[in-house]
Each structure stands twice: as structure tokens, then as C-alpha cells.
């Protein structure tokens, strides 16, 4: 199963700009910038240099946004090309806008008060076949406020985790509405799916 070419190959990742990364999020999740304005947002599996979160903070889209990743802040820098490592040098990372909004944690056990509810929770390329997908989804959904949405993308029909996710969603309580949009996330020659789970 191949998801993202060279994603974890040392020295081969060419990091996108923050703006490009931000636009990928909008495209993958079917949103516009104004949809995010002043919203409470949680980005699960944000990457350890969370460019989407940083872009939102720097451009005054929202200051109520947090990044969560299982790995320590900045770890992905080691996978960058030399040019990428030069761009994201330690001095730059020390002042990185999203650093204070970064939480190192597993998505299925978030160190965040359950009293804090989010308008949007994003999971972009952050479900894999080694995870406790059931535990992850139920933990994340507990942080949605009324009308809040969990958006997951991209998903592909031949991925084992996609089948598991379908089974989990069938068992959700009536507190949630699920929408599965097929083939709407551009990924080379094969478009992926977008799943939207809304708390009533």
C-alpha cells in the first residue's frame, strides 16, 4: 500500500510552503478560508512542523487552533532535503508560530480538557492500518461541539483502514450525522474520499 511517495525517506522530502499546505487542506476538506474564520480547530496528525496551523495563526484566520502529532515537534525536518532543512533551521523552528500550539500526543488519548469543544477537527492522511482506529475516532468525536465536524481525507477503497472506518461509522450513535463523499479528493490519478461527521 502506497500513500505518499518518499514521505518517510531521509533527505528526500521537499517541504511545501505554508500557503501551499494551507490550500491543500482547503482542497482536501472541501472548505474555503472564510469557513475557518474565528473557528476552534484541532488538527490531528498535523505533522511535526504544522504548516497549516501556522498559516492560520500568521494570517489571523483563527487563534483558536491546535496541532496534534504523535512525534516530537520538528522531527520531520530530518526527512527534508538539504534545502528544506536550511529553510526550517533550528532558529526558525524556535520562533515557529505554531510551536506553542503544538501538542505531542496520540490521537486516541488527547491531553485536552473535554470541556473544550471544537468547530472543526481535521484528520488529513492521519489514519493508518496500525492504529486503534475505533479508539481514535471515538476520542476525537468527544471533542466536537454542537454542529461541529470531524473531516477525514483522503481515504481510498483499497485501504484496510477505510473498511474499518466504515464499520465504525455504522455503529455511531444518533448524535452524529455521517456524509461520505466519494472521489472528491484529488490524489494523482486516483481521487480519494472525504468523510464528514457532524455532531447534531
Q: Which of 3-17, 74-88, 123-137, 181-195 has the lowest mean pLDDT?
A: 3-17
DSSP notation for 124-138: ES---TTS-HHHHHH
Query: What is the predicted pLDDT for the residue at 131?
Result: 76
Confidence grade of residue 15 (pLDDT, cut at 50, 70, 90): confident
The pLDDT assigned to 3 comes to 40
pLDDT in the model for residue 32: 98
pLDDT band at 44 (very low <50, low <70, confident <90, very high): very high
Asked whether the predicted pLDDT for residue 5 surpasses 70, the reply is no
| Average pLDDT over every residue of 72-100 | 90
pLDDT band at 134 (very low <50, low <70, confident <90, very high): very high
CATH classification of 18-199 is 3.40.50.150, yes or no?
Answer: yes
Q: How many beta carbons lie within 10 A of that of residue 29, not counting itself?
A: 21
Q: Which residues pair with 67 in a beta bridge?
A: 43, 102
**Whole-angstrom Cα distance, residue 2 to residue 145?**
34
Q: How confident is the model at residue 88 (pLDDT cuts 50, 70, 90)?
A: confident
d(CA 20, CA 190): 21
Evaluate if residue 176 carries a pLDDT over 70: yes
Q: What are phi and psi of 37, to 5 degrees?
A: -60, 120
161/2: higher pLDDT = 161
Regarding predicted confidence, which is higher, 74 or 189? Answer: 74
129: confidence class by pLDDT, cuts 50, 70, 90 = low
Other beta carbons less than 10 A from residue 11's beta carbon:
12
For residues 151 and 134, give the distance between their C-alpha atoms in angstroms, rounded to a whole number.
Answer: 16
Q: What is the rounded CA–CA span in Å between residue 40 and residue 36?
A: 8
| Domain range annotation of the chain | 18-199
Pairwise CA distance, residues 146 & 56, whole Å: 23
Of 154, 160, 150, the residue nearest 182 (C-alpha): 154
- Find the mean pLDDT for residues 125-132: 79
pLDDT tens digits, one per residue of 52-69: 999 999 999 999 999 999
List the grid coordinates of 106: 496520540
Answer yes or no: are the C-beta atoms of 95 and 54 closer than 8 Å: no
Does residue 1 have a pLDDT over 60? Answer: no
State which H helix or E strand residue 163 sits in: helix 160-170
Amino acid at each position: 500500500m502506497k500513500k505518499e511517495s518518499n514521505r518517510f525517506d531521509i533527505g528526500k522530502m521537499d517541504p511545501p510552503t505554508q500557503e501551499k499546505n494551507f490550500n491543500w487542506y482547503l482542497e482536501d476538506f472541501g472548505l474555503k478560508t472564510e469557513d475557518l474564520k474565528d473557528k476552534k480547530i484541532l488538527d490531528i496528525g498535523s505533522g511535526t512542523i504544522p504548516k497549516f496551523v501556522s498559516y492560520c495563526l500568521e494570517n489571523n484566520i483563527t487563534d483558536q487552533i491546535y496541532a496534534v502529532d504523535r512525534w516530537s515537534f520538528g522531527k520531520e525536518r530530518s526527512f527534508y532535503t538539504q534545502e528544506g532543512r536550511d529553510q526550517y533551521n533550528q532558529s526558525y523552528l524556535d520562533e515557529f508560530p505554531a510551536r506553542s500550539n503544538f501538542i505531542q500526543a496520540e490521537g486516541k488519548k488527547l491531553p485536552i480538557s473535554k470541556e473544550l469543544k471544537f468547530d472543526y477537527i481535521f484528520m488529513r492522511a492521519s489514519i493508518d492500518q496500525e492504529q486503534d482506529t475505533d479508539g481514535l475516532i471515538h476520542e476525537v468525536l468527544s471533542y466536537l461541539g454542537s454542529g461541529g465536524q470531524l473531516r477525514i481525507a483522503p481515504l481510498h477503497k483499497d485501504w484496510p483502514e477505510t473498511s474499518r472506518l466504515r464499520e465504525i461509522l455504522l455503529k455511531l450513535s444518533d448524535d452524529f450525522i455521517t456524509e461520505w463523499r466519494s472521489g472528491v479528493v484529488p490524489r494523482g490519478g486516483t481521487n480519494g474520499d472525504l468523510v464528514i461527521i457532524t455532531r447534531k
